[in-house]
Amino acid sequence: MSQFLQVMLSGLATGSIYALVAIGFTLVWQAAQTVNFAQGEFVMLPAFFVLAAMKLLGMPFWSALLLGLAISLLVLGLLFKKLIVEPILPHGGITLIIATMALGILLKESVKEFYSAEAQPFPSLFPARHLDFHGAVLSLQDIFNLVLCLAIVVSLTLFLNRTRTGRCMQATAQNPAVAEILGVNVKRMILYTFLINAGLAAIASFLITPVYLAKFSNGESLGLIAFIAAIVGGFNQIRGALVGGLLIGVLDNLTATYVTAEYRAALPLVLLIAVILVRPQGLLGTKEGRAV
Amino acid sequence: MLRKTLWIATTALLSALGTAHAADTVKLGMVAELSGAGAPAGTNWRDGIKIAAEEINAEGGILGKKVQIDEYDTQTDPQVSRALVQKAIDGGAYVILGTIYSGSTMVNMLVAQQNSMPQFVGSESPAVVQKGNPFVFRTSSGAQKGVPALTAYFKDTLKAKTVGVAWVNNEFGKGGHTVFLKEMEKAGIKVIADVPSEQAQTDYAADVAKLKQAAPDAVFVYMNQEESARFLIEAKKQSLAMPLVGEVTLTEAKVIELAAGSAEGAIAHVGLTATATDVPGIAAFATKFEATFKRKPTHDAIKGYIGAWTTKYVTEMVGKFDGEAFSTRMHGLCLKVADHPKILMDTCWDDTGEMSRPSFMVQVKNGTPVVIGQVPAN
């Protein structure tokens, strides 16, 4: 029982971080109708902003974290939209997808070239303490990760559904032309979407890097798993991305513990095939319509 | 006419200079994991070689020729490593130094063999010296020698009746895992949890949970550096209480840096350690390495250093740059520190290229691996 609890909690904690990244996929899909294949690198990079701030500027960890978040919003939100998405989008979604693939390679290789090819330690946001629960020793880090991610997802959902700006973003996603006629500043709403995506990627980066270690190649597996999570949950729904992320996190751990460790990497792909065959729009996705 | 004459003269001059340069240098092909999962090992290997090359050149080079290190990055990809060994040979290398990862070495050593080229490797999989390749030589003992050195520690020091084993499912891990299981069977210690993981795996929650549930007296951890660090972080997170004992990598400087406090208390058998400062050569190397690269050397750095220096010693014994003669001389060779100080510790190679020398047991205390015992050469 204690093992099951431990594995479940770890799976949920990791899955919740996958969910943050997966939500980024759905947001960019809604805003630009494209898949950002650099999303994994968007999660890898903020940790290096923080490390660079600590190493080069001598900043304390928490200040470096804030600076890392700000740079992420600027580079992965504003500049990504202005320099990549806006100029390329008129040439078609496929072109933009290829551009994001190229961007992913550029970011990865740049970190390798200008920072380090070796993994780097990254401080944890939470204390390394434990909690005894029915015989299981539960890590506070896992609990905090899970709670923080869920709080972010709930807040984001409330923001999109209960605030005027959020509803304007929804309208922009559903039909930009009509939204503009109704007085919505479409460009600004799209910018907000990219900034939120950058913020989510940065938070995911700060939460997962203490365990995964900071490395230029981290985005490869993270990006793939989150992409699959978004499809499994439903590519056009935030709650779908949340469910997809949690599901993959938990199933991965359960499979490795109780079934096979050797083939655990295949699990997300098996899940993806199963969902595509049975419910192509994803577990919580809708067949049509675009809504953030 | 004048232009033509000048052109011929310039070409002749450049050719002569090029020939003179080639004649004055000997190339060592450093083929290693400078990026990818093996980068911590490969970069240390390279930097150890750089220090050796500098020292060798300061002492007049090899047979009067300056040493030139040509670097090739395998990206921790076996197929790339194979192509790069060929490229190093085509580029005029006299000896290949690398690779570290056994999976790569198993693939690329055939290329060196086909070209009768001596190759010093940092790999520790037993299979590397079991293929009958007369040109491959280790710079540290293989797992079939290193892992048995741990048996006495599990049996006599820890008095373990049951153990768990967490290992990385690659060529390196498989070799150590197989030897460990045999050793435990011989020692009458029961393996009650056998947990494989993948190279570059990032999430060890399930692995640690399985070991925790099995509750063995001790756990043998046999993984590469980054994986070891991630495992230790997760073990600490889940309060894995039993002793964690490894072979070589578990207490490496890079692992301690990555795992920070999570590495505290980890124990390992190491062929070489920069903290064995009572060995004069190792202390001097560690000081020079730290002054040059502003970080502590790992055992891979010492291995690379020894590989380069052995190249010099043996070539000068042979008296010429001849790969076949070099390899023949290496088999059954023992180098004593008294005669060859840069070998650091008395070292012998057998007919398969396997090597033996005294080794150490270390434990991480206050963030530093501290020598807690010495193991005689086996």
Tokens 């350690």, located at residue? B273
Residue at A288 is within a domain: no
Identify which has the larger pLDDT, B5 or B235: B235
Q: Are residues B312 and B344 in the same domain?
A: yes
Instruction: Say whether pLDDT at B20 is over 50.
Output: no
Q: Are residues B106 and B217 in the same domain?
A: no
| pLDDT, tens digit (0-9, with 9 covering 90-100), for A87-102 | 998 888 889 999 999 9
Number of domains chain A contains: 1
> Which neighbouring-strand residues pair with B334?
B348
Q: Are residues B28 and B92 in the same domain?
A: yes
CA separation for the pair A22, A230 (Å, rounded): 5
**Domain closes at, from B270, B301, B327:** B270
Q: Are residues B81 and B136 in the same domain?
A: yes
The pLDDT-based confidence of B17 (bands split at 50, 70, 90) is very low
Residue at A283 is within a domain: no
| pLDDT, tens digit (0-9, with 9 covering 90-100), for A200-248 | 999 999 999 998 899 999 999 899 999 999 999 988 788 889 999 999 9
Question: Hey, of A9, A10, A141, which one would you mutate to test binding to chain B, going by the most B CBs within 10 A of its CB?
Answer: A10
Does residue A5 sit at the B interface (CB-CB below 8 Å)? no
Q: Are residues B177 and B108 in the same domain?
A: no
| Helix A186-212 / helix B225-237 crossing angle, nearest 10 deg | 90
Average pLDDT (A271-291) is: 80
Domain that holds residue A142: 2-278
Residue at A292 is within a domain: no
- Parallel/antiparallel/unpaired status of strands B218-222 and B162-168: parallel
CA separation for the pair B238, B212 (Å, rounded): 8
Instruction: Quote the Cα angle for A98-A99-A105, to 5°.
Output: 95
Residue at B372 is within a domain: no
CA separation for the pair A164, B64 (Å, rounded): 80
Tokens 């037993």, located at residue? B126
Residue at B41 is within a domain: yes
Q: Are residues B92 and B69 in the same domain?
A: yes
Instruction: Say whether pLDDT at B144 is over 90.
Output: no
Average pLDDT (B112-137) is: 95
Residue at B375 is within a domain: no
**pLDDT of amino acid B48:** 97
- Hey, are the CB atoms on A213 and B213 less than 8 Å from each other? no
CATH number of the domain encompassing residue B56: 3.40.50.2300
Number of domains chain B contains: 2
CA separation for the pair A108, B75 (Å, rounded): 14
**pLDDT of amino acid B7:** 58
| pLDDT, tens digit (0-9, with 9 covering 90-100), for B52-65 | 999 999 999 999 99
CATH number of the domain encompassing residue A104: 1.10.3470
Q: Is the ipTM of this complex over 0.90?
A: no
Instruction: Say whether pLDDT at A142 is over 50.
Output: yes
Q: What is the average pLDDT score of chain A? A: 89
Neighbour-count burial for A215-249, b at 16+ CB within 10 Å, e otherwise: bbbbbbbbbbbbbbbbbbbbbbbbbbbbbbbbbbb
Q: How many CB pairs under 8 A join A and B?
A: 97
Residue at B370 is within a domain: no
The number of residues making up chain A comes to 292
Q: What are phi and psi of B72, to 5 degrees?
A: -135, 125
Residue at B367 is within a domain: no
| pLDDT, tens digit (0-9, with 9 covering 90-100), for A22-75 | 999 998 888 777 889 999 999 999 999 999 999 999 999 999 999 999 999 999
Q: From chain B, which residues contact A within 8 Å (Cβ)?
A: 34-37, 39-40, 43, 169, 195-198, 200, 202-203, 205-207, 209-210, 212-213, 226, 229-230, 233-234, 236-239, 254, 257-262
Domain that holds residue B20: 7-141+279-357
Residue at A222 is within a domain: yes
Does residue A3 sit at the B interface (CB-CB below 8 Å)? yes
Identify which has the larger pLDDT, A132 or B315: B315
Instruction: Say whether pLDDT at B257 is over 60.
Output: yes
Q: Are residues B11 and B135 in the same domain?
A: yes
Q: How far is B311 from chain A (nearest CA, A)?
A: 28
Which of B198, B209, B260 is closest, CB to CB, to A265?
Answer: B198
- For A92, left (φ over 0), alpha (ψ -120 to 50), or beta? left
Identify which has the larger pLDDT, A6 or A80: A80
Beta carbons within 10 angstroms of residue B215's beta carbon: 13
Which of A118, A121, A215 is closest, CB to CB, to B43?
Answer: A118
List the one residue out of B310, B299, B239 whose CA is nearest residue B271: B299
Does residue A260 sit at the B interface (CB-CB below 8 Å)? no
Cα–chain-centroid distance for residue A141? 19
- Hey, are the CB atoms on B43 and A142 less than 8 Å from each other? no
Which of B197, B238, B254 is closest, CB to CB, to A137?
Answer: B238
Contact predicate B238/B212, CB 8 Å: yes
